[in-house]
């Protein structure tokens, strides 16, 4: 039986989890927050966070 690659190795689990949380918070949610921002200031702050996260990765 074919065993595929281990995409969640134990030695990288903590790093994978941290990156996943970061992407979820700063990118996924950030994009929605920017889209539904109720003021220019809120949009500018969220926009900056989204692009800072993109720059990091």
* pLDDT tens sequence across 11-56: 999 999 999 998 998 899 999 999 999 999 999 989 888 999 899 8
Place of tokens 């595929």: 4
Cα–Cα–Cα angle for 17, 53, 11, nearest 5°? 25
What are the b/e assignments for 3-15, b being 16+ CB within 10 Å?
A: eeeeeeeeeeeee
The pLDDT of residue 57 is: 83
Q: How confident is the model at residue 1 (pLDDT cuts 50, 70, 90)?
A: confident
Total-model pTM: 0.66
**In the structure, what pLDDT confidence band is assigned to residue 2 with cuts at 50, 70 and 90?**
confident
């Amino acid at each position: 039986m074919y065993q595929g690659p281990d995409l969640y190795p134990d030695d990288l689990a903590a790093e994978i989890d941290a990156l996943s949380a970061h992407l979820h918070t700063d990118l996924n949610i950030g994009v929605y927050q920017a889209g539904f921002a109720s003021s220019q200031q809120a949009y500018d702050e969220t926009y900056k966070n989204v692009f800072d996260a993109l720059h990091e990765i």
